[in-house]
Every structure is written in C-alpha cells, then in structure tokens.
C-alpha cells in the first residue's frame, strides 16, 4: 500500500489495548479500545514494537474494507509523534525474510472477544478474552465463521508461538463448547 497518500485517508484515534501476532510471532495488528482491529503488514512489526506500547494513544490513517469493520493501516503515528509509514516490504531493496520461529503444540479454551480479519476484510481468526489469537486460512475461517463470532465459546488445538507481545495458535482442530460455563477452568 505504499503508493497511497496517507494524508487523504480517514484518521482513527484510540488507545492500544492488545497487540495481534501473526503465526511467525510478528506483530501484524493491534486492537484500539475494546474492539477496533487495526491491521498492518508484518514488515512494519519492528518499527511498531519500537515506538508503540500497550496503553499508548495512537493515530491511524488507513482504508476500511467493505466486508469488515477494521482499518488496514497505511500510516501509524505513535503517542510521541513518530510516523510509521507502510512503504512496502521491499522499499529498501532488500528481500524481507519471515522469521524462523519454533512452533510448539498449543491449545486454548475460551470465549471469542473479537473476530479477526485480514487487510481486505477476509475472516482469518479470532481474539479470545484471555488475549490468545486464533488463526486459520481464510477459506477455513469462512467455513467455520460461527466458531469465530464474538460470544462463541471454543476450544482450539494447533501449533503456535508465544512471546512478550502475546500468543498465537494456528488452528488444526476447533470445537464449540456447548456448556461453556462448566468447561471454563477457574482462575488460580
């Protein structure tokens, strides 16, 4: 999206409450307030991690896809005024390599807080109330959309990554919890 002039795009402001990780452990979005998803490409991950923290007030200029209420960011402005512009993954002439992370078996149980979408509005997963990001390919997510709606109680199994920004699981299997209250594990 580096060809879009961000000054002509609508501005959204808010407080960063949650980072979103892709399956490689890179930041590829965050949540503003309670439920506004902001998506940005993972080649911006290092700059975002350096200049934006949970609790920061940020400005976002981006586009809204037709099929989802998200912002696909073109320009992020940190609370200290640092501008992070999407100039494309190859703007400096170097090919960007995806980080190599060791994914390990993981599972999660919980309530869906927010459906998660890609930059074009394609359903890609969900954010659970405990902060776990659940990811799956768009065709599978579209087929299983009922499991990814806010308020759904699910259990997922797959492989994932965990780092200082959160936890993401690539779903191999998913189940809806029929009696969610009795299945929830009490907090210690």
pLDDT score at 66: 93
pLDDT score at 4: 81
Q: Which residues contact 184 (CB under 8 A, 6 or more apart)?
A: 109, 110
> Is residue 90 in some structural domain?
no
> Is residue 17 in some structural domain?
yes
pLDDT score at 79: 96
pLDDT score at 182: 47
Letter string b/e over residues 106-127, b meaning 16 or more CB atoms within 10 A of that residue's CB: bebbbbbbbbbbbbebebbbbb
Other Cβ atoms less than 10 A from the Cβ of 4: the count is 14
Q: How far apart are CA 21 and CA 3, in angstroms?
A: 25
> Is residue 135 in some structural domain?
yes
Assess whether 81 and 112 both reside in one domain: no
Tally of domains within the chain: 2
> Is residue 98 in some structural domain?
no
Write down which residue in 50, 85, 120 finishes a domain: 85
> Is residue 178 in some structural domain?
yes
Assess whether 129 and 175 both reside in one domain: yes
> Is residue 127 in some structural domain?
yes
Q: How far is CA 54 from CA 58, 68, 167, 184, in A?
A: 10, 24, 15, 27
Residue-range definition of the domain harbouring residue 36? 6-85
CATH (domain of 32) = 2.40.50.140
> Is residue 99 in some structural domain?
no
Predicted confidence pLDDT, tens digits, the chain (188 residues): 457 889 999 999 999 999 999 999 999 999 999 999 999 999 999 999 999 999 999 999 999 999 999 999 999 999 999 999 998 776 555 565 677 788 999 999 999 999 999 999 999 999 999 999 999 999 999 999 999 999 999 999 999 999 999 999 999 999 998 775 544 554 44
> Is residue 95 in some structural domain?
no
Instruction: Spell out the alpha helix ranges (H) of the chain.
Output: 45-51, 138-143, 180-183
Assess whether 114 and 77 both reside in one domain: no
């Amino acid at each position: 999206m580096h060809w879009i002039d961000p000054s002509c795009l609508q501005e959204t402001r808010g407080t960063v409450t949650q980072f979103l990780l892709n399956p490689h452990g890179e930041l590829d979005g965050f949540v503003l307030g309670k439920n506004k998803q902001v998506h940005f490409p993972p080649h911006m991950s290092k700059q975002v991690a350096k200049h934006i923290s949970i609790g920061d007030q940020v400005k976002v200029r981006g586009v809204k896809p037709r099929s989802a209420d998200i912002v696909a960011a073109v320009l992020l402005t940190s609370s200290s005024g640092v501008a992070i512009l999407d100039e494309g993954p190859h703007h400096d002439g170097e090919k960007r390599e995806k980080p190599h992370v060791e994914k390990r078996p993981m599972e999660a149980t919980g309530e869906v807080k927010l459906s998660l979408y890609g930059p074009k509005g394609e359903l890609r997963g969900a954010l659970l109330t405990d902060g776990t990001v659940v990811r799956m390919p768009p065709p599978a997510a579209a087929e299983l959309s009922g499991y990814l709606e806010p308020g759904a109680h699910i259990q997922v199994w797959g492989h994932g990554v965990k780092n200082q920004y959160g936890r993401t699981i690539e779903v191999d299997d998913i189940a809806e919890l029929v009696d969610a209250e009795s299945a929830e594990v009490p907090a210690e």
